[in-house]
Amino acid sequence: MLNQGMFEEQEMASQMGFVPFPQNLSFLPPLGCHQSLKAFNIPPSLVADHHLPSTTNLTHETLLSSANLKQREDQDHIASDFGGTQLLSLQRSSANLWAWGEVNECLSNNKRIVNDHHLGVATMKMKKMKARRKVREPRFCFKTMSEVDVLDDGYKWRKYGQKVVKNTQHPRSYYRCTQDNCRVKKRVERLAEDPRMVITTYEGRHGHSPSQDDQEDSQAQSQLNNFFW
Partner DNA sequence: CGCTTTTGACCTGCGC
Partner DNA sequence: GCGCAGGTCAAAAGCG
Query: How many positions of this chain bind DNA (CB under 7 A)?
Result: 24
Q: Could you say whether residue 158 binds DNA (CB under 7 A)? A: yes
Q: Could you say whether residue 131 binds DNA (CB under 7 A)? A: yes
Least spacing, CB of residue 66 vs DNA, in Å: 13
**Partners of 20 in the β-ladder:** 87
Least spacing, CB of residue 134 vs DNA, in Å: 5
> How many Cβ atoms from other residues are within 10 Å of residue 153's Cβ?
21
If residue 33 lies in a helix (H) or strand (E), which one and from where to where? helix 32-39
* Burial grade of 205 (CB within 10 A; 0-12, 13-18, 19 or more): middle
For residue 44, the SS3 value is helix
Closer Cβ to DNA, 40 or 140, answer by number: 140
2-10, 39-47, 110-118, 167-175 -> range binding DNA (CB under 7 A): 167-175
77-85, 110-118, 170-178, 192-200 -> range binding DNA (CB under 7 A): 170-178
Closer Cβ to DNA, 17 or 204, answer by number: 204
Least spacing, CB of residue 70 vs DNA, in Å: 8
Angle at 140 between CA 166 and CA 223, to 5 degrees: 130
Q: Could you say whether residue 57 binds DNA (CB under 7 A)? A: no
Closer Cβ to DNA, 12 or 131, answer by number: 131
Q: 86 and 23 in contact (C-beta within 8 Å)?
A: yes
40-48, 85-93, 98-106, 165-173 -> range binding DNA (CB under 7 A): 165-173
Site string for DNA, 2-41 (x = CB under 7 A): ----------------------------------------
- CB neighbour burial string for 33-48, b if at least 16 within 10 angstroms, e if fewer: bbbbbebbebbeebbe
> Residue length, the chain?
229
Q: Could you say whether residue 127 binds DNA (CB under 7 A)? A: no
Q: Could you say whether residue 159 binds DNA (CB under 7 A)? A: yes
Q: Which amino acid is at 130?
A: K
Phi/psi region, residue 181 (left: phi>0; alpha: psi -120 to 50; beta: rest), is left
Residues near DNA (CB under 7 A) are: 71-72, 129-134, 156-163, 165-166, 172-174, 178, 185, 187
